[in-house]
A and B are shown apart, each in its own frame.
Chain A
Amino acid sequence: MSSLVKNIIRFILFIILQVFILNEVPPLHRFIVPYIYFLYILWLPFTINRIALMAIAFIFGLSLDFFSGTTGLHAAPCVLIAYIRPFLLGLLLPQETIEQSYSEPGSKSMGWAPYSLYVGLLTFIHHFYLVLIEWLQFGDFLYFLGKVLGTTAISLLMIFLAELLFLRKGKYRTNAA
Chain B
Amino acid sequence: MKNIFFFIRRYFTFLSFLLLQVFAIILLTRSSKAHEAFFTDATSELTGKLNKRYSNLRSYFSLSETNRQLAEENTRLKNLLASNNIAPDSSRVMYTDTTHVDSSGRYRKFTWLPARVIGNTVTLQTNFLTLERGSNQGVKKGMAVIGPQGIVGVVVETSSNISKVMSLLHRNSRVSAMLKKDNNAGSIEWDGNDPSILTLRNVSKSAKVVKGDSVVTSTYSANFPSHLMVGTVASIVEDPSSNFYTLKVKTATNFFNVQYVYLVENTRYAEQLQLENTPMTNQ
Contact = CB atoms under 8 A, between A and B. Distances in A.
A54 B28 contact: no
A73 B28 contact: yes
B12 interface: yes
A23 interface: no
Nearest to A74: B24
Interface string A135-172: 01000000000000000000000000000000000000
B31 to A, nearest CB: 4
Interface in A35-93: 50-51, 54-55, 57-58, 61-62, 65, 69-73, 75-76, 79-80, 83
A72 B24 contact: yes
B20 interface: yes
Nearest to A79: B20
A38 to B, nearest CB: 14
Given A69-B31, A136-B38, A75 B13 contact: no
B17 interface: yes
A17 interface: no
Which of the four size classes fits the interface of chain A? 20 to 34
A80 B27 contact: no
A133 interface: yes
Contact of A83 (B17, B24, B38): B17
Contacts of B26: 72
A79 B24 contact: yes
Contact of A76 (B12, B24, B32): B24
Given A51-B12, A71-B31, A73-B32, A133 B25 contact: yes
Contacts of A55: 20
B135 interface: no
B25 A72 contact: yes
A61 B24 contact: yes
A65 B27 CA distance: 10
A4 to B, nearest CB: 22
A51 B16 contact: yes
Given A70-B32, A79-B21, A62 B27 contact: yes
B107 interface: no
Given A71-B30, A73-B28, A133-B28, A51 B13 contact: yes
Interface of B: 12-14, 16-17, 20-21, 23-32, 34-35, 38
Given A72-B25, A79-B21, A133-B25, 20 more contacts: A50-B13, A51-B12, A51-B16, A58-B20, A58-B23, A65-B27, A65-B31, A70-B28, A70-B31, A70-B32, A71-B30, A72-B29, A72-B30, A73-B28, A75-B27, A76-B21, A83-B13, A83-B14, A83-B17, A136-B34
Interface of A: 50-51, 54-55, 57-58, 61-62, 65, 69-73, 75-76, 79-80, 83, 133, 136
Q: Which 8 A-B pairs have the closest CB atoms?
A: A72-B27, A72-B28, A76-B24, A71-B31, A75-B24, A72-B24, A83-B17, A71-B27
